[in-house]
Amino acid sequence: MLEVRKNTYSRNYENTFFREFARHLHKSFVDNGRSGLLIGSPFCEVDERLQIDALLITDQVVCIIGFKN
């Protein structure tokens, strides 16, 4: 199972895209019996200028995800 957490993105289309992305990824995780954590728009306390689009954490990998138009 994929747990999904997210902050609000600054643009509406980013929120819409993340919801679709998370839905498809969640289905893939369920279908394949995997587990993980997907964090949308995580906040960096060290330097707020460091902004990534999403972070995927599983038992085997930590993956930084950048969304491009």
Nearest 5°: CA angle at 27, between 31 and 35? 70
Provide the pLDDT for residue 50: 83
Tell me the two tokens of residue 43. 């906040």
pTM of the model: 0.84
Q: What is the pLDDT of residues 10-62, one digit of tens each?
A: 788 888 899 999 999 999 999 999 999 999 988 888 887 888 889 999 999 99
Distances in Å between the Cα of 1 and the Cα atoms of 10, 13, 48 are 28, 26, 30
Identify any residues that bridge with 65 across adjacent strands, giving them in sequence order.
54
Provide the pLDDT for residue 67: 84
Provide the pLDDT for residue 13: 86
Return the biggest CA–CA distance within the chain. Answer: 37
